């Protein structure tokens, strides 16, 4: 299994953070790798976003034990389906990814495209990924509305509508050879699970990882039930 994390600022994370990618790596190590199952985390990037520099150049992960080989990803601050659709085919092909864990859409809906336009980019993304690897499988996380949805009713409605369209597209496009599954929306509380109304705290990181882990375990027997470690969260 060759896992590729695809996402926006919630996935790349910022300097000094663990990231939900780290939480997912620990989960896979505990429930999958140590049982002798082979997996690798792949991707062309490995950095965190550095707010001071305004670019993704930091390697200051909160856990220095997080190995370089597990830090790989395709995530970017301010990037969405719109930005990843032209990249995904080459990345899947070059890194031989076969399992995508995707968290995209908030940036698209917030700044670039409405629900319908974002769905078009989902289709472009999936078509390109499957051309590169016809037996690709993917877990798609619904958009988690941020603090803007509290006061912007139109934005909140677009997030809800896109999530409905995303779930429908996953059901319609999924095949036995290339399954596409929605992740369950996490039990998300903006005050508890974000530090700024968008980006996850430690508890939010665990909830994001748990949403993906649940699908991997239930659908494909990968790993086991998610259990957050006793790290004060």
* Amino acid 230: pLDDT: 57
Mean pLDDT over each residue of the chain, to the nearest integer: 95
Architecture label for domain 2-220? 3-Layer(aba) Sandwich (3.40)
Integer Cα distance of 179 and 165 in angstroms:
17
Interior/surface letters 176-215, b for 16+ CB within 10 angstroms, e for the rest: eebbbbbbeebebebeebbeeebbbbbbbbbbbbbbbbbb
Show me where the domains of the chain are located.
2-220
pLDDT tens, position by position, 188-208: 999 999 999 999 999 999 999
* Amino acid 37: pLDDT: 73
Per mean pLDDT, which range of 35-49, 74-88, 161-175 is the poorest? 35-49
* Amino acid 32: pLDDT: 84
CB 8 within 8 A of CB 107: yes
* Predicted TM-score (pTM) of this structure: 0.96
CB 40 within 8 A of CB 138: no
Average pLDDT in the 161-176 region? Answer: 98
CB 69 within 8 A of CB 33: no
């Amino acid at each position: 299994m060759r896992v590729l994390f695809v996402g926006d600022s919630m996935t790349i994370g910022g300097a000094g953070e663990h990231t939900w990618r780290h939480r997912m790596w620990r989960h896979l190590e505990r429930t999958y790798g140590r049982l002798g199952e082979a997996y690798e985390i792949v991707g062309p990037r490995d950095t965190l976003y550095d707010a001071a520099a305004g670019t993704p150049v930091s390697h200051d992960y909160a856990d220095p034990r997080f190995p370089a080989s597990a830090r790989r990803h395709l995530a970017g601050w301010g990037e969405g389906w719109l930005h990843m659709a032209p990249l995904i085919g080459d990345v899947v092909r070059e890194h031989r990814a076969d399992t995508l864990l995707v968290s995209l859409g908030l940036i698209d809906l917030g700044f670039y495209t409405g629900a319908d336009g974002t769905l078009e980019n989902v289709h472009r993304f999936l078509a390109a990924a499957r051309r590169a690897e016809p037996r690709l499988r993917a877990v798609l996380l619904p958009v988690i509305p941020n603090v803007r949805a509290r006061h912007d009713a139109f934005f909140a409605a677009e997030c809800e509508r896109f999530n409905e369209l995303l779930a429908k597209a996953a059901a319609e496009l999924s095949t036995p050879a290339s399954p596409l599954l929605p992740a369950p929306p996490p039990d998300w509380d903006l005050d508890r699970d974000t530090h700024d109304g968008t980006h996850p705290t430690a508890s939010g990181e665990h909830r994001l990882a748990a949403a993906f882990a649940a699908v991997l375990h239930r659908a494909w027997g990968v790993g086991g039930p998610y259990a957050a470690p006793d790290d004060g969260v």
